[in-house]
Structure 1
Amino acid sequence: MPKVNSTPRTEVTTGPIPHHRPDPSSSRSENTSSHASFGSTPSSALAPPIPSNSTPITVAGALTGNALKPDNGGTIGRPTQVTANFFPLKTLPTSKIFHYDVGITPEIPPQKARTIWGTLSKEADFANDHSRTVFDGRCNAFSISELISISEARTFKIDLMDGRGARPGANVFTVKIAFVAVIDVHELQLFLDRRGPFTSNCATAIQALNIAATHKSFSNMANLGRSVYSPSGAVDLGGGIEKWDGVFQSIRPGQRECFINIDTTATAFVNSGNAAEVIFRTLGTEKRQPCGSYEILKLERTLKGCVFTIDRGSSQKRYKITRLSEKGADRTMFDLVNNEGRTSTVSVEEYFAQQYDRRLRYPSLPCLGAKGSKTTIYFPAELCFIVPGQHHKKKLNEDQVAKMITCTAIKPHLREEKIRKSLRLLDFDNNTYLKAFGIQISSQMAIVPARVLSAPSIEFYDGRERPNMGSWQVRGRHLKGARLKSWAILCFEREDRSPRAVIMNFTRRLAGILSNAGMVVGSSQPPIIYAQPHGDIGREIESVKRLAEREFRRPLQLLMVLFPNKSAMYPVVKTYCETSRSGLMTQCATTKNVSRCNDQYCRMISLKINTKLGGIVSTLGSSSIPFISRMSTLVIGADVSHPSAGEDRGKPSIASVVASIDDMAAKFVGRVIVQDSRMEVIRNLQSLIKEIIKTYKHVTGHHPKRILFYRDGVSEGQFESILNTEVKSIKQACMEFGNDYMPPLTFVIVKKRHHARFFPGRGESDRSGNCVPGTVVDTVITHPTEFAFYLQSHSGIQGTSRSTLYHVLLDENKFTSDSLQQLTFNLCHVYCRCPRSLSIVPAVQYAHLLAYRGRYYLDNGAVPVDNGQGQCVEPNPTPFGEIKVSEKIMNQMFFI
């Protein structure tokens, strides 16, 4: 954080301008949208309020276009109460709030922008009381007093004379402020009471409340998104990374009042301090010998992009690491021109010894490279200091992820206590900005009415099982057993480490379990081939395929592949078997599990094998899913998987759509496509839905008469875009089967990435201390007017369980709260991979799995791409289009 001179130089110019409003299409307006914490706020709603002479909106929710509540909430289920991490706002501002657009040039990060704003807001010529004005660090400022008149804009010159040795003028910034609108918070209160519409004024009011609540903490602490972080209690994750705890906060509209949603968070930061010590922690050892190329890459992966300072006198100029030198400071050479104009070649070590009389202790360590005026400039690591509070944006390795999970997965009662303690860090009672705006926040969490829905019975071939706390036993026969007439084992492990006798024992036991489950197994001793992990995998697969087909005299149905551990070969094997012409169904396992196999392990594998080969493990009775069983219904799940943190920016996203192809929502088919990087809207949804409806018709003999669509991965600010694109694409796909074919559609957003946490009352929890499966919340803290509810459908295993938020964008099937909540909960019990209820509907989970599989195909370079003319072409560096899975398995559940 730059230090600001206590008496900065400020220049002010004023002048009349036309009424100014930010362009909604500009990047600045996009930043604005990220700060409006409202479940269905479209981007247009974040523009300035509708002019007073516009036609008023008289229907609540009309501005968003999302489905409205069909009733006052559900009634079925056992009534209970839960504590929610929502703290009521006891008072809202009573005075009008003035909204201003702020532009700072040159562009700078939000944290530095807040420093400039803090300097500006303390100027007597600008504001009488700086606590009456708040700023989001980007482009929005709100004040409860008028800063400038409507007809003028003001321009300020701010010079942060911070004494860091920067070049003259480097810290001079131009700040332009223009009036946008006057916000009447009373409109928001009318909306909360369901006595008025949700206007753009309401959205901007919520945005102003959010910025007022977070201005103090965001100005004083490291922040990411809506969370602030503190180094207090940091936990070392290894590899130069540490975990910081944080606090998330967001204003949310509820039933008749607003709440601030507060939750604990954690994320990874780069170790700060002396750069040499950070290097040692990153490498896991004190390095006195020159680093190898692998070690340099490892260091760059962690440190590249980090800001550091130099220990050389009073200068505190900051630099950003662009690379590390390939050699140590003693062997990194450059040309030095002396005062007489003579050039000599010296090492970085020699230069610092001559110029600053600094003798290096670790001359073999690589230097930190930063961008210079003409070339990269290097500094000895031990003379550099990594600035604290720098977020580690890259993907954590497996060990770091495991440590992060261990220290963040805390029991519900401990998380509840931690959230309460976080109020001390936020210190709302002594927040001068909140007091100036007239906002009071309760220190008590909301007690929310909830209901516990009854679990459905699970039907097998020879009976039913009633779930107990979200789980049940699979003892007898599956509902429908498949036939396994031809299978083989391919083992990527040395025979002396995984003997043939051990594998044969496993196959006999597995064959027995499969037979008991109702499958027809032709042989309990399939051929076994040992393969070289570093050989030609395709050749090894084709070899075992030919061997099995000769032995069984029929095509190979299942290839079991055994790996020594969680092998990097897994994606390669899946890619080859599922996208090549062979079209092999595979089931993978580790040799460790095979060697110590037991009946329970074999039963879990049998669930997947039977499903992959066309069988059905279990289903729900028709009375549990009347919406589906009484009329042919297409249940669809969709998801878009984006490149993970640290991956190439241009790396494509993967979109997947999975749909049921029977009248009991037990069998599914999937389609997967590659599309533009980080594009959330599924670009080719119309053709995917058309193909899925064709497949449904081919299997069942009729078209679906209605559609239930669960869509995952959509943020609140994208609801309007999804309504205008994906819903339209589904309708257009249906019309391709005839203008009179228009099955009613219910489109539901499925959200797991939220910060609502529910804590059960005494005696109301499961064994993990979480809410019991079937707990649903649809009042008090949910959307004031729109059809939305939280459902916790699974039993807790580790840490605090997260419920799923279901938000209905369109409902042409006229669900009631009870009917949709119970149907969704019941569907969570038909996941074929395990006898437990899921936290989300299986259709969405299958879409997750298929999207991950598509990522494997893309990463392993075996993605045939449709060129739009029905031809399959070779993949290119950025392939876009449908991924062609082998026709032999494309309509089976190969992705589970």
Structure 2
Amino acid sequence: MRTPTPRTVDCGFAQEQGIKPPPPKYEPARLGRSIRVLVNYFLVDCRAQEALHYSTEVNQIFDDAQGGQQVIDFRLKAEETRPVIRQLADQQRWGHTWVYDGKHAIYSTEEICPREETATNVTISRGRRQRKYQVKMKLVAPVAIRSLFEFIQGRADRLPQEVLQVLDIALRHTQQMNPACTAHNANFFFQSQQRGNSLGGGAQAWMGYYQSLKPCKGGLALNVDTACTAFVDSCLISDILLDIGADEHACKKIKSKLKNVKVVSIFDEDNVHKFKCIGRDRPCESMFFHKHSNRDMSVQEYFETVKGKRLRYPDLPIVDCSTTKKPIFIPAEFTRILPGQKVKGKLNAQQTAQMIRSATQRPLERKEYIEDVLRRIQFDDDPTVGAFGMRVSSQMQEIDARILPHPHLKYKDPPCMDVGTQGVWNFTRGVSFFRRGKINSWAFVSFCDERVVNDPGETGLDVFMNALIDVLRKTGVKFQGGPVVHYAQFRLSPREEILQAIDKAKRHFEDKEPNIIICLLPNNAKEIYKSVKLTCDATRGIPSQCICAPKAGIGQLLKGRDEHARRRGRDQYCNNLAMKINTKLGGTNCAIVDVPNSGIPIIGQDKAFMLLGVDVSHPQSQEESEPSIAALVASMDPAGSHYACRVKIQQHGQELVNDFKELVKELLLEFFKHNNRMKPESIIVYRDGVSEGQFDAVLSNEYDCIRTACMEMGNGDGTYCPPITFIIVQKRHHTRLLPAGGSTDRSGNVLPGTVVDTAITSPAVFDFFLNSHAGIQGTSRPSHYHVLVDENNFGPDAVQLMTYWLCYLYCRCTRSVSVVPPAYYAHLAAMRARLLVERDTSDDASSASGFSGAPQFANFHDSLKNVMFYV
């Protein structure tokens, strides 16, 4: 491999002209052992040349008081407009030449209506009711489908997004128009095929499939994968109340989970309502319809006399589905949840665990499931697919791949460790950290019952503490005596308990502030955990390490394990704790053994470099008051192991980072201080969490900000202009690499180091899929890397090997990880910062802010900005 030569960068010219460097267009890399893998892509042949685009608007028609008709724009959803368009197509005999996107566009391979705008009325029957709609259509323009293949063949630089959308819609059209199919974005679920994998709490796991059309170097391909999503169980509301209880807490929980979920009365299933709330203080026997039949009548009496149905549970709370115009109350035992509705919000811990079990498929099982999906869909028999000139291969693609060589790691002892080809290694006897941290003062705070953790046997706290101290000593962490132990008495808040422990440690260790606090927590102690991190991260600026008592074997034996297995499990747990503690103390667990003259970037070179990881964490809540949080981490040492961190709170959903230039400049200054007044000679950026539609905007903003920060770091003359390599990291995709025979890891997945940069990658830019980790359960997901800028002129082999080898430097485990550590650390820092977004729910705060729960952000303490406390 050749030694990379950085390109000369004219900073001033680029800044003045606003010029961005062109994306590198490298040939496929060659390094590594060649293999073949299967990929869940199916080749698509398309003969269509053109389609017609019609703009479409669907509105509902109501009869007014004077007997006329009034068109109302209700912004109808796709589930209501699709039947209308299907009915219109039948009325006007469009055949199978059209497809509908569910919003405002119809595409057809033939003319299906006049070029000028038309308005057609359509009536839809739903049970005993009929609804009237008006459909407006107008020809917009033809769509040149052939332009997509010019892009694939390299004769055009920009992807014609509308063409890809047309063909994608055509392949999904039949299933999306099928009333028996529940479609969510690119995922499809059929209720008839669900086996009812209960998640508990009124939720079920549904198995379906995902499909999306991809333009690749090897041609147009359909990406098909499994999909597993949590749906609200289609049951009676009374079943949920009888399962979890009907007290006030349960009613609040149900209201939160089911708000706006669609329900029907079992007496009138054609009339759909939205669940509004449920009240503990409003059972059916005490809730009245005012002046029904000229007198007040309870809901219980109404259903018994008018509907002829006696209530079995009259004391259960009533379901309120009222609108602004009409009160609607239905007994819980007569209210059924409609099927096919996704669970909103987060699943709880038990549901998440069950969800993972339901979705897990080993590579061979996943392959068979996907192939079965293709057989059921039967694209060859789909007249719409045929009308758009497409044929989909029934064979999963088998493509070229390579397995990159693994690195050797250096510790203080041994200086060179061969970690093998499986991506997993163990701490053998005599291993000590590469650079050891030092504990000047420390405290151990137990938030568990003192009587339980002080068991005199092997599950006691003393036994665990001795094991942890022994591991710390063997790995080289320096300390004088064990920690001060403080037992929380639960009369004080966790914050006050932490502060008391800090005072005890200072008195014991000659007035030295602790530089690590270890906290023992019971299972499911989320609020205590949050309070600990808020106190340590924001208030006192001391790194903390939390331990879960059951996982550590404190207070209870791990059932089903013999003594040897328990001891091995505890040793592994203590080893992992030691790695985290050493990192939080400023130590380095391991580094990559230098390979002189290999040409591998940043490894074995004397030139100073900076690895910059960037991520933006968006809240799961759709509330606009919930902020997004941006995090930047930057390496400070020649081993690329120690990182400084900066975080920024910003508007909900915003991907571009506020004050990016200032944050980068702060990190450059920290690098300057840590490295004897030396500046980075090259910068490598790993940017996480960006969709392909945002590439240009993110690159334009962040590349410019890094350039400007570097110029301002110079002598004011713009002479400091290090070359930048800018790489986007994507994890949320549906590409899976499956073994096609040959070697696999212990879980049956492709080996760590498997890389693909042909056939399924982009025709326009240099990108690659890298499976850098060993599988644990299910099918491994490779990370997708897009190299948008490479001013360092690393080249394809060097970029891939550098990225892969860095995955062995993740500080929390003795495994290579699935995502390059700078991006991983930025994600961890952003998630830790989310714990510091507090909501003041007091009445005073609510009235002062004008709304309940205004978020307040407590930033990290200044003393932690260069400490990896978030790992």
TM-score of the pair, normalised by structure 1: 0.85
Deviates more, 1:827-836 or 1:303-312: 303-312
Name 1:547's counterpart in structure 2.
504
Taking a change above 3 Å as real, the CA distance of residues 388 and 833 of structure 1, as seen in their structure-2 partners, is same
CA contact (8 A) 1:70 1:815 kept: no
Alignment counterpart, residue 740 of structure 2, candidates 753, 761, 775: 761
CA distance in 1, matches of 2:103, 2:266: 32
Residue identity matched to 1:400 = Q
Identity of aligned residues (%): 33
The answer to whether residue 406 in structure 2 is matched with residue 455 in structure 1 is yes
Residue identity matched to 1:499 = N
Structure 1 position 79, deviation (Å):
0.1
Residue identity matched to 1:603 = N
Taking a change above 3 Å as real, the CA distance of residues 689 and 65 of structure 1, as seen in their structure-2 partners, is closer
Name 2:118's counterpart in structure 1.
154
Name 2:16's counterpart in structure 1.
none
Structure 1 position 162, deviation (Å):
2.7
Name 2:85's counterpart in structure 1.
117
Name 1:247's counterpart in structure 2.
209
SS of residue paired to 1:575: helix
C-alpha distance after superposition, 1:560-585 (max 9, x if no partner): 111122422111101101101x2222
C-alpha distance after superposition, 1:666-688 (max 9, x if no partner): 10011112111122222232221
CA contact (8 A) 1:760 1:770 kept: yes
Name 1:868's counterpart in structure 2.
none
Structure 1 position 256, deviation (Å):
4.3
Taking a change above 3 Å as real, the CA distance of residues 877 and 317 of structure 1, as seen in their structure-2 partners, is closer
Name 1:751's counterpart in structure 2.
730
The answer to whether residue 488 in structure 2 is matched with residue 531 in structure 1 is yes
Alignment counterpart, residue 86 of structure 1, candidates 34, 38, 41: 41
Which residues in structure 2 correspond to 1:157-176 (within 5 Å)?
157-165=121-129, 171-176=131-136
CA distance in 1, matches of 2:141, 2:514: 70
CA distance in 2, matches of 1:734, 1:749: 21
Structure 1 position 382, deviation (Å):
2.2
CA contact (8 A) 1:240 1:279 kept: no
C-alpha distance after superposition, 1:485-514 (max 9, x if no partner): 311211112221111874344333322322
Structure 1 position 827, deviation (Å):
0.5
SS of residue paired to 2:196: strand
SS of residue paired to 1:356: coil
Name 1:787's counterpart in structure 2.
766
CA contact (8 A) 1:750 1:805 kept: yes
Name 1:474's counterpart in structure 2.
427
CA distance in 2, matches of 1:859, 1:880: 5
CA contact (8 A) 1:791 1:803 kept: yes
CA distance in 1, matches of 2:732, 2:781: 9
- Equivalent residue pairs, number: 796
Alignment counterpart, residue 76 of structure 1, candidates 27, 31, 36: 31
CA distance in 2, matches of 1:318, 1:887: 55
Name 1:204's counterpart in structure 2.
162
CA contact (8 A) 1:619 1:664 kept: yes
Structure 1 position 69, deviation (Å):
4.8
Name 2:417's counterpart in structure 1.
465
C-alpha distance after superposition, 1:319-378 (max 9, x if no partner): 111112334543342342256xx4x43321112223222221221222221133445421
Taking a change above 3 Å as real, the CA distance of residues 197 and 602 of structure 1, as seen in their structure-2 partners, is closer
Name 1:839's counterpart in structure 2.
818
CA contact (8 A) 2:20 2:700 kept: no
Residue identity matched to 1:728 = D
CA distance in 1, matches of 2:111, 2:722: 54
CA distance in 1, matches of 2:418, 2:657: 38
CA distance in 2, matches of 1:88, 1:740: 50
Which residues in structure 2 correspond to 1:493-512 (within 5 Å)?
493-499=448-454, 502-512=460-470
- Structure 1 unaligned blocks of 5 or more: 1-63, 863-874
CA distance in 2, matches of 1:274, 1:506: 49
Taking a change above 3 Å as real, the CA distance of residues 603 and 860 of structure 1, as seen in their structure-2 partners, is farther
Alignment counterpart, residue 574 of structure 2, candidates 599, 602, 612: 602
Taking a change above 3 Å as real, the CA distance of residues 535 and 205 of structure 1, as seen in their structure-2 partners, is same
Alignment counterpart, residue 681 of structure 1, candidates 643, 656, 665: 656
CA contact (8 A) 1:661 1:696 kept: yes
SS of residue paired to 2:764: coil
Which residues in structure 2 correspond to 1:238-317 (within 5 Å)?
238-280=200-242, 283-284=243-244, 291-312=246-267, 316-317=270-271
CA distance in 2, matches of 1:219, 1:532: 61
CA distance in 2, matches of 1:828, 1:79: 21
Cα RMSD (Å): 2.4
Residue identity matched to 1:401 = T
Deviates more, 1:325-334 or 1:615-624: 325-334
CA contact (8 A) 2:25 2:764 kept: no
CA contact (8 A) 1:572 1:860 kept: no
Name 1:184's counterpart in structure 2.
144
Name 1:721's counterpart in structure 2.
697
CA distance in 1, matches of 2:340, 2:684: 45
C-alpha distance after superposition, 1:212-246 (max 9, x if no partner): 00000111110111011122223111111111111
CA distance in 1, matches of 2:517, 2:868: 15
CA contact (8 A) 1:327 1:364 kept: no
Structure 1 position 478, deviation (Å):
0.9
The answer to whether residue 539 in structure 2 is matched with residue 567 in structure 1 is no
The answer to whether residue 776 in structure 2 is matched with residue 797 in structure 1 is yes
CA distance in 2, matches of 1:363, 1:391: 30
CA distance in 2, matches of 1:253, 1:66: 24
Name 1:485's counterpart in structure 2.
440
Residue identity matched to 1:626 = P
C-alpha distance after superposition, 1:24-56 (max 9, x if no partner): xxxxxxxxxxxxxxxxxxxxxxxxxxxxxxxxx
The answer to whether residue 106 in structure 2 is matched with residue 141 in structure 1 is yes
Structure 1 position 253, deviation (Å):
0.4
SS of residue paired to 1:176: strand
Residue identity matched to 1:266 = C
Taking a change above 3 Å as real, the CA distance of residues 277 and 510 of structure 1, as seen in their structure-2 partners, is closer
CA distance in 2, matches of 1:686, 1:112: 47
Taking a change above 3 Å as real, the CA distance of residues 369 and 338 of structure 1, as seen in their structure-2 partners, is closer
The answer to whether residue 344 in structure 2 is matched with residue 393 in structure 1 is yes
The answer to whether residue 546 in structure 2 is matched with residue 588 in structure 1 is yes
CA distance in 2, matches of 1:526, 1:95: 74
Taking a change above 3 Å as real, the CA distance of residues 435 and 467 of structure 1, as seen in their structure-2 partners, is same
Name 1:61's counterpart in structure 2.
none
CA distance in 2, matches of 1:500, 1:318: 58
CA distance in 2, matches of 1:603, 1:796: 21
Residue identity matched to 1:715 = S
Name 1:617's counterpart in structure 2.
589
CA contact (8 A) 2:601 2:794 kept: no
SS of residue paired to 1:449: strand
Taking a change above 3 Å as real, the CA distance of residues 514 and 277 of structure 1, as seen in their structure-2 partners, is closer
Structure 1 position 174, deviation (Å):
2.6
Taking a change above 3 Å as real, the CA distance of residues 877 and 735 of structure 1, as seen in their structure-2 partners, is farther
Name 2:13's counterpart in structure 1.
none
Residue identity matched to 1:571 = K
Taking a change above 3 Å as real, the CA distance of residues 329 and 552 of structure 1, as seen in their structure-2 partners, is closer
Which residues in structure 2 correspond to 1:620-639 (within 5 Å)?
620-623=592-595, 625-627=600-602, 629-639=605-615
Name 1:736's counterpart in structure 2.
712
Deviates more, 1:731-740 or 1:593-602: 593-602
Residue identity matched to 1:404 = M
C-alpha distance after superposition, 1:826-846 (max 9, x if no partner): 100101111110000111111
TM-score of the pair, normalised by structure 2: 0.87
Taking a change above 3 Å as real, the CA distance of residues 71 and 373 of structure 1, as seen in their structure-2 partners, is closer
CA contact (8 A) 2:24 2:787 kept: no
The answer to whether residue 855 in structure 2 is matched with residue 886 in structure 1 is no
